[in-house]
Amino acid sequence: MAEIEISVRSYVKLVLHAAKYPHCAVNGVLLADRKRYKDDKIVCVVECVPLFHLALGLAPMLEVALSQIDAYCEQNKLIIAGYYHANEHVKDSSPNAITHKVMERICDNFNDASLYMVDNTKMTPDMEDAVFRVYALQEGKFKERNPDSITLDEQCLSAASGLLNQKVFRNMVDFDNHLDDITQDWLNNHLNEVIEIHSW
Amino acid sequence: MASRRANLEEPAQLIQPLCSSWEDARDLLREWREENLRNSEQVVEVGDFLMQRGLAGKLGDEVWPAYEQIFLAALECGRLELAQVCYKQLRRQFPGSLRVAKLEAMRYEFLQKYDVAEQKYHKILEEDEANSAVHKRLIAIHKAQGKIPEAIKELNKYLERFMSDHEAWLELANLYIAELEYGKAAFCLEELIMANPQCHLYHQRYAEIRYTQGGTENMELARKYFAQAAKLNPTSIRALFGLFLAASHLASQQKGGGTKSSKSENKKYAAWAAKQIQERYEALGQSEDSQLKALTATLDSLELS
């Protein structure tokens, strides 16, 4: 299994999405650099696309979202390399039937994909620790990956903490928001600069 | 969080404060109450604004629903002291009120003292057995404890009695969807559609459930209901996408000249929906936009030769 590197931008967007909807289950995908994987066998996660906060278990809008994101990946030499999921209940950080369904779909395209299960209790403004645990899907079961094989960029935690404190999650756009109003940008380009400033 | 860049100019505040006057605060709170939004973090900010400046009194009679709204938001955000202030005001103004008693019980839910909360709810029900809000709090306690099968069972019982409670039907549908019980979720939506045949959201949600279930019959239903949703709300992108997907699926499975709807009919529906979607995105005026390119590629790849 390949090593994983997580960029500040992807980590921050994941955290902001979860923070925007604290009372909902949320999910999204993580995109990795295709060349880095091909050349060095490293899953270098460079982007995060938040998907839904409503009715996560339904297929049609998920298909629409994944198709559009796939097309975006094709154009930008990326690949859908991960899926993150935060459960509704604060104490529930276990994978469930929905995470299975989506991961199977993602692993069909990229068998080194991982599941990032958010531990809701770690979603604090202090951000001392990564908010997720990472799992691989092996023979239909989720097995936690060795935490040493996952490296967060050293600015991830402080950038996420800073932007949480500044309530930047209010400007976060997920695919549900986009489907309600297509002028909203599911790539969150408007946040990239802000994240950049907070991550040097 | 200590400042990390004391020497440099702070960039302009990223997020503007929500209100700068008590009138703004009053209007925002009113709008959010009317839309029944669950935006606790924002309500708390507005609540703080009013309380810290002693402006709550400016709201006149509206201050009472505002206190209730801020109380609930404060509990959600763990701001017990703010909740306390609101509660005391309400208690003083409405002594003996069951609605205020319910708020007191909710405080115990926040503290995770569910036994105490349950006791208090049952006490309210002794005085007012038909208090639907309290019945629902008891179900919410099951949910809070992760007891989803119990929540589903009790919610079903509740709906036998309070069958016009749309919020409850939707909640039950969501619980079923989370358990992958799509047939039962569909039933809930059928009840909602019967009661509200003009509501495009219910048609669309029903179609999404049927689509997820899969199989030709369900796909036909999905297409029909997506089409109805699009008819009731021509601006619904979800309905258009759904119609496109369902029609494309049906067309790909059928041989020419089928029974209910033919392959060529479905291709026409799919093409129509795709055109509507394309036009909406193009109207945004960002023709080189990567999102538009992604969309075009999507529609092409999902469509059939």
Residue A175 in this model has a pLDDT that exceeds 80: yes
Structure tokens at A73: 């990946």
Which of B171, B290, B300, B302 to mutate to test binding with chain A, by most A CBs within 10 Å of its CB? B290
Q: What 3-state DSSP class applies to A166?
A: coil
Residue B2 binned pLDDT confidence (cut-offs 50, 70, 90): very low
Residue B176 in this model has a pLDDT that exceeds 80: yes
Chains A & B: contacts with CB separation below 8 Å = 115
Give contacts of A163 with chain B, Cβ < 8 Å: 14
Residue finishing a domain among B37, B61, B95? B95
Q: What is the pLDDT of residues B86-101, one digit of tens each?
A: 999 999 999 999 999 9
Q: Give the pLDDT of residue B14.
A: 73
Q: Give the pLDDT of residue B285.
A: 73
- Cα–Cα distance for residue pair A41/A45, rounded to 1 Å: 12
Q: Give the pLDDT of residue B34.
A: 95
Instruction: Indicate whether B193 and B301 sit together in one domain.
Output: yes
Tell me which H or E stretch contains A159: helix A156-165
Instruction: Indicate whether B125 and B29 sit together in one domain.
Output: no
| Domain contains B7 | no
| Domain contains B22 | yes
Instruction: Indicate whether B116 and B90 sit together in one domain.
Output: no
The letter for the amino acid at B266 is N
Instruction: Indicate whether B188 and B293 sit together in one domain.
Output: yes
| Domain contains B260 | yes
Residue finishing a domain among B76, B95, B114? B95
- CB B173 within 8 Å of CB B185: yes
Instruction: Indicate whether B156 and B210 sit together in one domain.
Output: no
- Cα–Cα distance for residue pair B85/A154, rounded to 1 Å: 42
Instruction: Indicate whether B202 and B233 sit together in one domain.
Output: yes
Which of B48, B184, B188, B298 to mutate to test binding with chain A, by most A CBs within 10 Å of its CB? B298
The answer to whether A90 contacts chain B (CB < 8 Å) is no
Q: Would you call A166 and B302 a contact, using CB atoms and an 8 Å cutoff?
A: no
Instruction: Indicate whether B187 and B305 sit together in one domain.
Output: yes
Instruction: Indicate whether B158 and B185 sit together in one domain.
Output: no
Sheet holding A141-144, edge to edge: A141-144, A132-138, A114-118, A78-86, A26-33, A42-52, A3-6, A150-152
Q: What is the pLDDT of residues B150-172, one digit of tens each?
A: 999 999 999 999 999 999 999 99
Give contacts of A23 with chain B, Cβ < 8 Å: 38, 40, 76
Q: Would you call B208 and A179 a contact, using CB atoms and an 8 Å cutoff?
A: no
- Cα–Cα distance for residue pair B243/B265, rounded to 1 Å: 13
Instruction: Indicate whether B270 and B203 sit together in one domain.
Output: yes
Looking at the predicted complex, does its ipTM rise above 0.85? yes
Residue B25 binned pLDDT confidence (cut-offs 50, 70, 90): very high
Residue A133 binned pLDDT confidence (cut-offs 50, 70, 90): very high
- Cα–Cα distance for residue pair B198/A70, rounded to 1 Å: 35
| Domain contains B10 | no
Residue finishing a domain among B72, B95, B118? B95
| Domain contains B226 | yes
> Any bridge partners for residue B148, and if so which?
none
Tell me which H or E stretch contains B88: helix B80-93
- Cα–Cα distance for residue pair B209/B221, rounded to 1 Å: 10
Q: What 3-state DSSP class applies to A57?
A: coil
> Any bridge partners for residue A135, and if so which?
A115, A144
Using a cut of 0.90, tell me whether the model's pTM lies above it: yes
Q: Return the percentage of chain B with pLDDT > 70, whole number.
A: 89
Range of the domain at B105: 96-162
CA distances from B42 to A170, B46, B111 (A): 9, 6, 22
Please choose, from the candidates A20, A24, A63, the residue with its C-alpha nearest in 3D space to the C-alpha of residue B301.
A63
Instruction: Indicate whether B25 and B57 sit together in one domain.
Output: yes
Give contacts of A189 with chain B, Cβ < 8 Å: none
Q: Would you call A167 and B41 a contact, using CB atoms and an 8 Å cutoff?
A: yes
Residue with tokens 């402080």: A158
Q: Give the pLDDT of residue B255.
A: 63
Residue B273 in this model has a pLDDT that exceeds 60: yes
Q: Give the pLDDT of residue B263.
A: 85
A179: closest CA of chain B, how far (Å): 6
Q: B21: how many CB neighbours lie within 10 A of its CB? A: 12
A199: closest CA of chain B, how far (Å): 11
Number of domains in chain B: 3
Sorted by where each starts, the structural domains of chain A and their CATH numbers stand as: 4-198 (3.40.140.10)
Q: Give the pLDDT of residue B10.
A: 47
Mean pLDDT confidence for A147-169: 94
- Cα–Cα distance for residue pair A90/A94, rounded to 1 Å: 11
| Domain contains B54 | yes
Instruction: Indicate whether B192 and B115 sit together in one domain.
Output: no
- Chain B neighbours among A 13-52 (CB < 8 Å)? 22-23, 25
Give contacts of A126 with chain B, Cβ < 8 Å: 1
Q: Give the pLDDT of residue B262.
A: 84
Residue B259 binned pLDDT confidence (cut-offs 50, 70, 90): low
When CB atoms are compared, the residue of B15, B246, B298 closest to A166 is B15
Tell me which H or E stretch contains A42: strand A42-52
> Any bridge partners for residue A115, and if so which?
A83, A135
| Domain contains B172 | no
- Cα–Cα distance for residue pair B270/B268, rounded to 1 Å: 5
Q: Give the pLDDT of residue A60.
A: 96
Q: What is the pLDDT of residues B98-153, one digit of tens each?
A: 999 999 999 999 999 999 999 999 999 999 999 999 999 999 999 999 999 999 99
Q: What are phi and psi of B188, to 5 degrees?
A: -60, -45
Please choose, from the candidates B93, B23, B103, the residue with its C-alpha nearest in 3D space to the C-alpha of residue B58.
B23
Q: Give the pLDDT of residue B215.
A: 93
Instruction: Indicate whether B185 and B218 sit together in one domain.
Output: yes
Q: Give the pLDDT of residue B300.
A: 75
| Domain contains B25 | yes
- Cα–Cα distance for residue pair B44/A106, rounded to 1 Å: 39
CATH code, domain with B204: 1.25.40.10
